[in-house]
């Protein structure tokens, strides 16, 4: 695949937002997310370790935000991570992407920048 993936040069979302989700996404409940990478935040929800307090940085984020990053559990990531899209993927603006990038001094993505194909099924590790 030769299309540019802006997430591989960013990772700001993984260092800005709390990643919380239903505990049923954990491996012990039949889900994908490794149990040892989450912390319980209430009786039905867990969060990725490192995103449950400030400063925020997901335990599964590898690399330097704004330089080169990857997710160490990309194939087993939670639904919030699977659903979060960089701005302008499929022509849709994501203000949350812009906010995370701004927190790290990164400019917002532009609508005319090239992006990767849907679902990134090639197994690339993106943030």
Task: Tell me, letter by letter, the H, E, C secondary structure of the chain.
Answer: CCCCCHHHHCCHHHHCCCCEEEHHHEHHHCCCECHHHEEECCCCEEEECCCCCCCCCCCCEEEECCCEEEECCHHHCCHHHHHCCCCCECCECCHHHHHHHHHCCCCCCCCCCCCCCHHHCCCCCCC
Q: What is the pLDDT of residue 39?
A: 98
Q: What is the pLDDT of residue 121?
A: 44
Q: What is the pLDDT of residue 114?
A: 63
Q: What is the pLDDT of residue 116?
A: 52
Along the 127 residues of the chain, how does pLDDT read in single tens digits? Answer: 457 788 999 999 999 999 999 999 999 999 999 999 999 999 999 999 999 999 999 999 999 999 999 999 999 999 999 999 999 988 899 999 999 999 999 999 998 766 555 544 444 445 4
Q: What is the pLDDT of residue 5?
A: 83
Q: What is the pLDDT of residue 115?
A: 57
Question: Length of the chain, please?
Answer: 127
Residue ranges of the domains in the chain?
6-106
Q: What is the pLDDT of residue 120?
A: 45
């Amino acid at each position: 695949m030769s299309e540019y993936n802006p997430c591989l040069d960013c990772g700001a979302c993984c260092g800005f937002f709390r990643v919380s989700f239903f505990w049923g996404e954990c491996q012990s409940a039949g889900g994908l997310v490794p149990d040892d990478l989450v912390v319980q935040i209430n009786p039905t929800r867990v969060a990725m370790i490192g995103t449950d307090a400030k400063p925020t940085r997901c335990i599964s984020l590898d690399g330097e935000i704004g330089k080169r990053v990857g997710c160490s559990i990309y194939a087993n990531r939670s639904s919030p991570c699977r659903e979060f899209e960089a701005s302008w993927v499929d022509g849709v603006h994501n203000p949350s992407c812009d906010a995370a990038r701004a927190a790290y001094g990164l400019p917002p993505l532009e609508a005319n920048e090239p992006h990767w194909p849907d679902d990134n099924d090639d197994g690339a590790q993106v943030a």
